[in-house]
Structure 1
Amino acid sequence: MTTSVWIIEDDFRVANIHADYIQKIGGFTVTESIRTGQETIEKLQQSSNLPAIILTDLYIPDVEGCSLVRHIRYHYPAIKIIVVSAATERNLIKDVVDLGIVDYLIKPFEQQRLQQAFKKYLNESLSFHNRTNITQQDLDSIFYIESAMTEDSHVKGIDLHTLQIVKRIFENQQIQELTASQLSELIGSSRSTARRYLEHLVSENFLCIKPIYGTIGRPERKYIYDGTYEQNK
């Protein structure tokens, strides 16, 4: 199941570029591309399936400043908003940030920076998924994960934000074991990339490996959260 994203951008060429970036992240699908504020309001009112995320510019012809963002935040507080705009005016940006957006990207930006914004959303979603109580560690992983990424903790080929997301998946009691193929679907990556993160967590003694023997070929590996693994199985 993918997460629905709407794009609000009056330049269709730019909107297509943003959509392409989002599709490459994996796990997210652009379901609407809208060019005006009024069309956005109408679609929100008529839609039976609201998006989880809205990616919007601030410079929309029929929108003044952050009025559209304010409207969405007031009427649809569950929708997360990521702003991508060439606007750099201090007061305008402060007003938008104060409304509680997920992130603000100044155009032009690199694809990797947009991926970070969506990974932040994913990390937050996983932290709250099927939890009755939230720990300080859960909150720190949302608000301070970037500051925890120091050069000393950097491992080649491992993005620490993605690593935190993978850990959250296993720490969620609903998911105790996964194969590389299953994880790749959850985080929107290739199977080899998913396996790299899983093997890294094995080296940290966070996960254990359990071989699954089939009838043909090499056994598949199942990665099991260390706290749930029993050696005698």
Structure 2
Amino acid sequence: MTAPIRVLIVEDEPLTAEAHAAYVARLDGFAVIGSVDTGRAMLAAVAAERPDLVLLDLNLPDVHGLQLVRALRSAGSAVDVIAVTAAHDVRAVRNAIALGIVQYLVKPFSYRAFADRMTSYREFRRGFEDHRALTQADIDERLGTLRPVAPAEHEKGIARETLEVVRDALLEMADGGSASEVAAATGLSRVTARRYLEHLAGAGQVDKDVRHRGHGRPEYEYRWLR
């Protein structure tokens, strides 16, 4: 069984920190290992506990969160960081991206928005569990998991008839199916099948997880949420 992603929460508002911990507890594949309320405490916790992921408020009482990320990178730490903050000015967002922050959540947000970003991050991380060399398509696929999927009524290139074909094929697969399997069942190309499956996953109708079978590279499995 895959070990849970170990999460450190960095938030100076106690009620907000508790809410974030409660949100994380509702998600599969994550475990909160601690919560701190200052930048100094965060640096100490990262060094001592070695979390996989930091949920970081940028506006801390002793130091700005982006300075902390710079300090981590200078020290050689590759810990992943998701900004969870009220700061949304252009400079803050651009600097966060430049420092490699993998997701950016602007307060206040719903549990659904939080879960979407965390699930995308989990899939992104799992995509690198296969240590073989990656092709360009592999890299594009992994980076694509960090991008939210547009809702059905706003996404270009999604045809209702094709969406129904993909949905019906997946409904017939009791144990879920990969993009290749759905493509074989519908006559669509794998790329088209995956695009529609990703669309359904983004709409919350389909669960998406990494499938490991045999010695081949892992692939995504999609399962209709009944």
TM-score by length of 1: 0.65
Q: Counterparts of 1:52 and 1:161 in 2: how far apart (Å)?
A: 27
Residues 126 and 169 of structure 1 are in contact (CA less than 8 Å); yes or no, is this contact kept in structure 2?
Answer: no
Q: Counterparts of 1:65 and 1:51 in 2: how far apart (Å)?
A: 17
- Whose radius of gyration is greater, 1 or 2? 1
Q: Which runs of 5+ in 1 are unaligned?
A: 177-182, 184-193, 200-233
Which residue is 2:90 aligned to? 90
Q: Counterparts of 1:138 and 1:81 in 2: how far apart (Å)?
A: 22
Q: Counterparts of 2:34 and 2:25 in 1: how far apart (Å)?
A: 13
CA-CA distance at 1:43 after TM superposition: 2.3
Specify the SS of the correspondent of 2:127: helix
Among 145, 159, 163, the alignment partner of 2:201 is 159
Specify the SS of the correspondent of 1:66: helix
Size of the alignment, in residue pairs?
179
Change (3 A) 1:83 1:138: same
Specify the SS of the correspondent of 2:211: helix
Are residue 138 (structure 1) and residue 138 (structure 2) matched?
yes
Q: Counterparts of 1:138 and 1:119 in 2: how far apart (Å)?
A: 19
Q: Counterparts of 2:27 and 2:214 in 1: how far apart (Å)?
A: 22
Which residue is 2:224 aligned to? 196
- RMSD across aligned positions (CA): 3.2
Which residue is 1:9 aligned to? 11
Specify the SS of the correspondent of 1:108: coil
Q: Which amino acid aligns with 1:8?
A: V
**Equivalent residue runs for 1:1-233 within 5 Å:** 1-45=3-47, 47=48, 49-64=49-64, 66-145=66-145, 146=147, 150=155, 151-152=158-159, 153=163, 155=167, 158-160=200-202, 165-166=208-209, 168-170=210-212, 173=215, 196=224
Residues 4 and 31 of structure 1 are in contact (CA less than 8 Å); yes or no, is this contact kept in structure 2?
Answer: yes
Change (3 A) 1:121 1:147: closer
Percent identical across equivalent pairs? Answer: 26
TM-score by length of 2: 0.67
Change (3 A) 1:78 1:196: same
Indicate the larger mover: 131-140 or 78-87: 131-140
Change (3 A) 1:5 1:174: farther
Residues 4 and 30 of structure 2 are in contact (CA less than 8 Å); yes or no, is this contact kept in structure 1?
Answer: yes
